[in-house]
Structure 1
Amino acid sequence: MAQIPVSQIATSENPGAARNYLPALLSLAALYFMMGFITCLNDTLVPFFKNGFHLTYTQSALVQFYFFLTYGIMSVPAGRIVEKTGYKRGMVTGFLVASGGAFLFFPASVMHEYYLFLAALFILAIGIVILQVAANPYITILGPADTASSRFTLIQGVGSIGTTVAPIFGTWFILSPLGNSEASSDAVRLPYLGIAALLILIAWVVNSLRLPEIKPVGDVEKVEENRKIFSFRNLKLGVWALFFYVGAEVAIGSFLTNYIADTLSVSEQSANSYVAFYWGSMLVGRLAGSVLLKSVRPPLVLAFCAVAAMVLIGISIGTSGYLAVWTMIGVGLFNSVMFATIFSLSVNGLGKFTTQASGLLSTAIVGGAIISYGQGWLIDRFTWQVAFTLPLLCYLYIVFYGLDGYKTKPILNS
């Protein structure tokens, strides 16, 4: 099991009083729901903008590119902000910044300019990055270290509700008027204004809650103070594992609508409804994983899930029709526990460096930009089968991390 050293963390609340954690966990549940909803709604924007602005797959992939590029630029600065302001203020700041990005969809839709939508998504993503950096270590710290992966997976399960709802929401409120070119930008105006208002409301609620104050405390051995953060092998390799995992997850989700539409010869609106099953299977997997990870070693679960994902992708690109569609959708089930498990294994043994490591790991989420853009480039130039070998290779690295990469090595030099 991942061992996150709670001994390096202190809380102003009584750690033995479980009721003190309830408001924090509820606020984290709301946070993850909105992060999941907003992030997954990008999967609807990809085919929406592709048709509305007559883009290639590579150009439409810029939706995910600019959204996830923000993680590479802002994660480390966001980590420093959270270290100074605390987790609660960090979350409130993230909600407010994200609401500003969502509001910018209004002028972008009025002017009907693709680059303005990309700019709005970039700002929206900055808020999501701050939320992610604040929330990830907070979850691992709120409770026993040996159940960190389970707790993280359970909270992410709530986020999966948001990712499941988003494609259905996008199908009815964004893709349905796709045939009307005059409504191509108008369709996103009201949905994102509603998201902006909801984010502001959640920020106000979180700011009003009395959440546990958790800070690094205590004397730390000199050898640990002098250690550079990348001397932790599990973190160094874990950053790449998270890079490839997020890249694979986003690449599949981004083009799943178009892949299903081409495979089944149906409209994008009809195909987008299937995407809900992809994210819905992640919800099921995370709920089951929160229980499974209490009794089965997380590295073994991670390796098994990565192998299963590779098998399903292989079947999908080697077949056709509904078998190809449902096997690709089934990858979501095995994606479910990967992020939480990789994150927990990566910060194992980091002590006071946990928050800094969270920033670095969040930086690795830029894989969602690089891998999805690369897959879009492959689709434009080759075939779906060739393009989906890219996420398949990503899962191959995750197999390595689950079997060996997560292991720590003793420090030989101070």
Structure 2
Amino acid sequence: MEHTSSTALRPQSGAATGNTGPLVIITILFFMWGLLTALNDVLIPHLKALYTLNYVQAMLVQFCFFGAYAIVSLPAGALIRKIGYQSGAVTGLVIAAAGCALFYPASMSGYALFLLGFFVLAAGITILQVAANPYVTVLGDPRTASSRLSLTQAFNSLGTTIAPILGGVLILSAGAQQLSGTVNEAASVQKPYLVLAGALLLLAVLFAFARLPKIEHADDGVVQLDTATRASVLAHPHLLMGAIGIFLYVGGEVSIGSFLINFIGEPHVAALAPADAYHYVSYYWGGAMVGRFIGFAVMRYVSPGKTLAFNAAASIALIMVAIFGHGQAAMWAILAVGLCNSIMFPTIFSMALYRLGKFTGQASGILCMAIVGGAIVPFVQGMVADAVGLQWSFLVPAACYAFILWFGLRFAGLYLAGESEN
């Protein structure tokens, strides 16, 4: 297949060496937005019970959170091109801190202000994603970009693994101990999110003074195609299909996480109350963390596309067990999907960005905008759950993984094909 990159995104002269430090700093950002994103899985059942919501209404949390990606991603790409990757990351951290701070007045107001807080928080995280993901892809050999992103995403998964435990202890358990009443129960989110706001502001200050290499576009000697093809980033099939893959992957992963506590609470599954079920959400996200460390090693020897296809097929099989099974088998099957999710985002992302050169920044914005799947897919699953039941609604994420299976097989030879052009 064709690869149209005539320029490559890379550190400026003099900054190409010593990539370990910058990767460590970027990895901290991955950890923070993993923590913040996975806290939604704890807040959804909490707010659902608090405001007596149906599944569709409860999924407005993810709709507002991931909807920010659709609205903010492309402007974030333009912002980063203007102020640079490092300043863009600092801006994202400050905005995310403001979103966390909004949870304090929301706890004394109502559901609508919570939704606004989720949107602002996600807007900040979106800017971080647009800045950090391409940064990782250029800090080393392009052939191992998937491997590096898998490693940094492993720490993102560490954040998502810790988040349900922290949220369960600080929000669900604390909420259960509160006196009855919406205001009193909602107040359990105040301290955790104020602490997070402070941590994000501190990280913004530290990041502003960190010594990171600036990034520029430079000629990489790859075969150039005609001007008409190079003129548009949308002319690259692997980018377009990768954007759809990101949309469906994030949608499927977020949707499963959003419904986990309620699924585990089903009478024919484990019949656990939310204050007891939150522990198991950490297994879902923890599986992704373990899998990313494994993927970091495996994809140095196995085609990223083939690895992606294998994991997608395994996800579909596990979801089928969860849908048609019951008891412990159904519960552990759906939790095990987290292990399969492990390498999907970094693999799809880096495959889609492969050899886009000067289009990398714009393409990253498009891919981050595709994360809006996390808003749409859970909303669709919520409608299905309200209509036919929660267990059958998991056919929605299963359909998402079917496309990812095809994408992995279709572009399994992407890297080999690209390298043969040199």
Determine if the alignment matches structure 1 residue 102 to structure 2 residue 95: no
Q: Distance in 1 between matches of 2:411 and 2:241?
A: 6
Task: State whether structure 2 residue 215 is matched by structure 1 residue 211.
Answer: no
Verify the 8 A CA contact 1:251 1:371 in the aligned structure 2: yes
* Structure 2 match to 1:188: 189
CA contact (8 A) 2:175 2:186 kept: no
Give CA-to-partner distance per residue, 1:175-229, whole Å, 9 cap, x none. 0133333332110000000000000000001101110101223499683574311
Deviations 1:293-335 (A, max 9, x none): 1000000000000000000000111110011000100000010
Partner of 1:223: 226
Which of 105, 109, 132 lines up with 1:135 in the alignment?
132
SS in 2 for 1:127: helix
- Decide which moves more: 400-409 or 217-226: 217-226
Cα distance in structure 2, aligned partners of 1:271 and 1:25: 35
Tell me how far apart the structure 1 counterparts of residues 225 and 309 of structure 2 sit (CA, whole Å): 35
- Taking the TM superposition and a 5 Å limit, the aligned residue runs for 1:259-408 are 259-262=263-266, 263-405=269-411
Deviations 1:164-184 (A, max 9, x none): 000000110000133333332
Structure 2, unaligned runs of 5 or more: none
Equivalent residue runs for 1:11-90 within 5 Å? 11-12=11-12, 14-15=14-15, 17-18=17-18, 21-90=19-88
**Equivalence for 1:162:** 159
Aligned AA (1:312): L
1:238–1:406 CA contact under 8 A, matched in 2: no
Deviations for 1:219-243, whole angstroms, at most 9, x for unmatched residues? 9968357431111000011111111
Identify the range of structure 1 (210-219 vs 397-406) with the bigger mean alpha-carbon deviation. Answer: 210-219
TM-superposed CA distance for 1:252, in Å, is 0.1
TM-score using structure 2 length:
0.92
Cα distance in structure 2, aligned partners of 1:404 and 1:222: 22
Q: Which runs of 5+ in 1 are unaligned?
A: none
Distance in 1 (alpha carbons) for counterparts of 2:413 and 2:114: 42
**Contact 1:150–1:294 (CA under 8 A) maintained in structure 2:** yes
> Within 2, Cα distance between the matches of 1:68 and 1:164?
19
> Which of 255, 264, 283 is matched with 2:259 structurally?
255
Task: Return the letter of the residue paired with 2:353.
Answer: V
Q: Which amino acid aligns with 2:9?
A: I
- Change beyond 3 A, Cα 1:52–1:405: same
RMSD: 2.0
User: Residue 8 of structure 1 corresponds to which residue in structure 2?
Assistant: 8
CA contact (8 A) 1:9 1:215 kept: yes
Cα distance in structure 2, aligned partners of 1:407 and 1:354: 20
Contact 1:71 1:129 in 2 (8 A): yes
Per the alignment, do residues 16 and 142 of structure 1 end up closer, same or farther by CA in structure 2, a change over 3 Å counting? Answer: closer
Query: More deviation in 174-183 or 305-314?
Result: 174-183
* Distance across 1 between alignment mates of 2:45 and 2:399: 25
Contact 1:317 1:384 in 2 (8 A): no
Q: Tell me the alpha carbon deviations over residues 335-377 of structure 1, each in whole angstroms, 9 at most, x when there is no partner.
A: 0000000011111121110110000000110000000011111
Residues 379 and 187 of structure 1, relative CA distance in 2, 3 Å threshold: same
Q: Which residue of the partner structure matches residue 238 of structure 2?
A: 234
**How far, CA to CA, are the matches of 1:330 and 1:189 in structure 2?**
32
- Whether contact under 8 Å (1:4, 1:344) holds in the other structure is no
Q: Separation in 2 of the partners of 1:149 and 1:127?
A: 24
Once residues 286 and 239 of structure 2 are traced to their aligned partners in structure 1, the CA distance between those partners, rounded to angstroms, is 29
How many residue pairs get matched? 405
Contact 2:6 2:220 in 1 (8 A): no
Deviation per residue, 1:118-149 (Å, 9 max, x gap): 00110011000000000110000011111100
Percent of pairs with identical residues: 42
Distance change in 2, residues 1:128/1:251 (3 Å): same
Task: Output the CA distance in 2 between the equivalents of 1:224 and 1:407.
Answer: 25
Query: Bigger shift: 387-396 or 398-407?
Result: 398-407
Distance in 1 of aligned mates of 2:220 and 2:401: 40
The CA distance in 1 between the partners of 2:4 and 2:43, in whole Å, is: 37
Whether the aligned pair in 2 keeps the contact of 1:247 and 1:368 (CA below 8 Å) is yes
SS in 2 for 1:188: helix
Distance 1:10 1:376 in 2: 42
1:5 deviates by 6.6
SS of residue paired to 2:108: helix
Alpha-carbon distance, 1:284 to partner: 0.3
